[in-house]
Amino acid sequence: MFKIKLKELINDIHKKHILGRTIAGIYVIEFQKHGLPHAHILIFFAEDCKPHTVEDVNRMINAELPNLETNRLAHETVARCMMHGPCGVTFPNGPCMEEGKCKKQYPRKFQSETVMDVHGYPIYQRRDTGHTLLVHGIELDNRWVVPHNVYLSTKYDAHINVEVCNNIRAVKYLFKYVYKGHDRATVEISCQSDNAIKGNVVEADEIKKYLDCRYVSASEAAWRIFKFDMHEWFPAVERLQYHLPNQQMVLFDDDDDVQEVVARSAISRTMLTEWFKTNQKSEAARSLTFDQFPQQWVWNRKLKRWTMRKKGFAIGRTYYALLTSDERYYLRMLLNCVKGATSYEHLRTVDATTHDTFKDACIAMGLLADDNEWHQALEEASVWASG
Ligand SMILES: [Zn+2]
């Protein structure tokens, strides 16, 4: 049932565009401990469909009890699936309770109208209407309603929490969340005699005693036996390899003759050198930077050649280079902003001057305006390295 509903929901979002025209999306499936599956879905809207204003948000998201008379079906679903809690003082042992407080900050405050807070998160309208309903013998009002889309709740009769995030940090957080991987536990298996104390010394083989375990419920096991996808995304992302002159990676077998390997013409053909070549030959190619290239050109892995894209769309992404990798770092910087380069020299050429290094070219282009910026980049790099 979950699989059927999810497929239809993704279809509603990305084919029928019922929330607005989407340009990218990703979802990841997770199984709760007791086995219930759920999906974390991130949707990216086309510029003209992004919910920027309070009206846009209100059209998409509701955080109040639907009207029982005019929208009975939605009311039923929200009453059954979209009410948080009850938690708080009367239910201190609720799963959301931590140190006497609800982790999800319920009950929320009454809110006469939707507003955007400083971080770009909307605070949804939850009016004090006096309208309540009984959940586990407790009367809950609009402060307990989990934000949802009325159409989706009504159609799927399921818990579908819909929220807006306008802030890049929120997007970053969500991506981390969807990719955080499986829940794991460190489990100790022992029998009493293992812990016998000999003299004053406790004999403990920590490696033997601890297992890094994954918990798989029956529904997750079934999902995997059927080989259903655990995640999906679109559009495709093409990871772009790049390298300093003659420093590309070369793959060969143990017993290959090194001279023969070096003589192979294919080893000098890489995504980057072929990008140069394509730019030399095709004027149409020259309007794009290296990282934009996969939007209109397709990399043929077998033939090691870029060909003009006939259908579809892909996003290019250059591998990250650490600042400490020096010239490689500056090469990447240039690749992300120079269009139609036909050679390494071309990349290093700014206003008809060919610079000796990629760094000098970056400086000449104003990409490294001053020392301050450089230090900032260094800081960022060290965050990357440590993170
Ligand atoms: Zn709670």
Give tens-digit pLDDT for 102-159: 999 999 999 999 998 877 678 999 999 999 988 888 889 999 999 999 999 999 999 9
Determine if residue 309 is left, alpha or beta; phi over 0 gives left, psi from -120 to 50 gives alpha, anything else beta. Answer: beta
Which pLDDT belongs to residue 30?
85
Which pLDDT belongs to residue 210?
67
Cα–ligand 1 centroid distance for 41 (angstroms): 22
Residue 67, pLDDT > 80, answer yes
Residue 387, pLDDT > 50, answer no
Length of the chain (residues): 387
Give the C-alpha separation, 347 to 327, whole Å: 12
Cα–ligand 1 centroid distance for 93 (angstroms): 10
Residue 349, pLDDT > 80, answer yes
Cα–ligand 1 centroid distance for 146 (angstroms): 11
Give tens-digit pLDDT for 261-297: 888 877 889 999 999 999 999 999 999 999 999 999 9
DSSP code string of 64-124: SPPPTTT-HHHHHHHHHHSB----BTTBTTSTTEETTEETT-PSPPPBSS-EE-TTS-EE-
Cα–ligand 1 centroid distance for 214 (angstroms): 27
Give tens-digit pLDDT for 303-318: 999 999 998 889 999 9
- Given pLDDT bands bounded at 50, 70 and 90, which one contains residue 370? low
Residue 289: DSSP 8-state = B
Which pLDDT belongs to residue 267?
82
Cα–ligand 1 centroid distance for 105 (angstroms): 6
Cα–ligand 1 centroid distance for 241 (angstroms): 47
Type of residue at 386: S
Burial tier of 131 (Cβ tally within 10 Å: 0-12, 13-18, 19+)? middle
Q: Are strands 37-45 and 138-140 parallel, antiparallel or unpaired?
A: unpaired
Cα–ligand 1 centroid distance for 103 (angstroms): 6
Cα–ligand 1 centroid distance for 303 (angstroms): 57
Average pLDDT, the chain: 86
CB 58 within 8 A of CB 123: no
Cα–ligand 1 centroid distance for 101 (angstroms): 8
Give tens-digit pLDDT for 13-47: 999 999 999 999 888 888 887 778 988 888 999 99
Cα–ligand 1 centroid distance for 78 (angstroms): 16
Cα–ligand 1 centroid distance for 239 (angstroms): 41
Cα–ligand 1 centroid distance for 86 (angstroms): 7
Residue partners of 59: CB distance under 8 A and separation at least 6: 51
Cα–ligand 1 centroid distance for 368 (angstroms): 48
